[in-house]
A and B are shown apart, each in its own frame.
Chain A
Amino acid sequence: DVKVTQSSRYLVKRTGEKVFLECVQDMDHENMFWYRQDPGLGLRLIYFSYDVKMKEKGDIPEGYSVSREKKERFSLILESASTNQTSMYLCASSPPGGAGNQPQHFGDGTRLSIL
């Protein structure tokens, strides 16, 4: 089974801090994604990566950056955390190719609170 592991289940940080969320997958998937999930808004794509060192902006990239130095690891960085970034963050991976017919495998999420 594909395993996507997010480094923290719960995280509490302060406004202005630089925050790192880590995600590791063990299935050699090319594609990796970061989403945030808020009630009533579903999942919104922040960034995705289709190869090492490659990244593309999703729908809400402002205030975030990403890093993919190794194929199995995709990091989400909050450059200067703000309270409106309090949310559930979900990482996912999928095999190569287009979105159709390619399932995304999700981690269990990191619930981040910015105080």
Chain B
Amino acid sequence: TQLLEQSPQFLSIQEGENLTVYCNSSSVFSSLQWYRQEPGEGPVLLVTVVTGGEVKKLKRLTFQFGDARKDSSLHITAAQPGDTGLYLCAGDTSGTYKYIFGTGTRLKVLA
């Protein structure tokens, strides 16, 4: 079974701090997606990365796909309480319909 390990599992920080969330696997992914899930709702797509070494920015969020396409990171600059939620990475190993989801990082940003 392919696994996507995310770290840390939980993170509680003060507003204005920076943070990085990691998504790691021993498998190579054709593409990797990041989702955010808020309480009582389903996950919502933030970004898709497809090229090794690719960096994408979404306002204060920076996403990077590892050169070998086995890992990814999400960096948040100057976190805000609105960033609170569960962050999930999801990888596609073979261009199929199936996604492998990570274990999730639960982020809480305190005002």
Residues of A within 8 A of B (CB): 4, 31, 33, 35, 40-45, 48, 50, 56, 58-59, 90, 92, 94, 98-101, 103-109
Contact = CB atoms under 8 A, between A and B. Distances in A.
B98 A108 contact: no
Contacts, number: 75
A101 B33 CA distance: 8
Given A4-B42, A104-B45, A50 B88 contact: no
Interface residues on B, range: 20 to 34
B40 A108 contact: yes
Nearest to B95: A98
B45 A103 contact: yes
Contact of B98 (A41, A58, A105): A58
A99 B95 contact: yes
A42 B101 contact: yes
Identify whether the interface residues of B are mostly helix, strand, loop, or mixed.
loop
24 contacts: A40-B103, A42-B4, A42-B6, A42-B102, A45-B98, A45-B99, A48-B97, A48-B98, A56-B97, A59-B1, A90-B42, A90-B43, A92-B42, A98-B30, A98-B92, A98-B95, A99-B31, A100-B48, A100-B50, A101-B31, A104-B43, A104-B90, A107-B42, A108-B40
